[in-house]
Amino acid sequence: MIDWKEVSRDIMALGGLPFYFIVIVRAIVGESYSFIMQLVIAFAISFALSKIVKSNQHVARGFILLFFISLFYKEIIFTVGAAILWIGMIFSLRNLKIKNEEIIKGVVFGIISAAISYYLTPLLI
């Protein structure tokens, strides 16, 4: 029998800090400086926003990773798969009884953080 709570927690790990930072470390190894800056700036913005208003940071970081990794690889199959996982993350949050308000704020903060980082990074590099 599938334990959906466990599956939900596993999916949430994709928006966790260890996964986010392993992506950054991999980018450092590959010397992808623009990509690194995008992730670092988006993380900082998302973190700052979460200190002002309580939100779900897993879904925010998940969106940031989905957005920038998809831009980096430019592969539709990867983007679709990652988008499905991110949508699964939203359903997992619901399964874990996270308030809708926190989920929505996390989604919005992830989008805002990614957008600001996307436009700010070229000005800094």
pLDDT tens figures, 102-124: 999 999 999 999 999 999 999 99
- Quote the pLDDT of residue 125: 83
Tell me what the mean pLDDT of segment 76-82 comes to.
96
Task: Please give the full DSSP string across 9-72, using - where no structure is assigned.
Answer: HHHHGGGSHHHHHHHHHHHHHTT-HHHHHHHHHHHHHHHHHHHHS---HHHHHHHHHHHHHHHH
Residue 1's pLDDT band, with cuts at 50, 70 and 90, is confident
Answer yes or no: is pLDDT of 11 > 90.
yes
pTM: 0.94
Tell me what the mean pLDDT of segment 6-23 comes to.
94
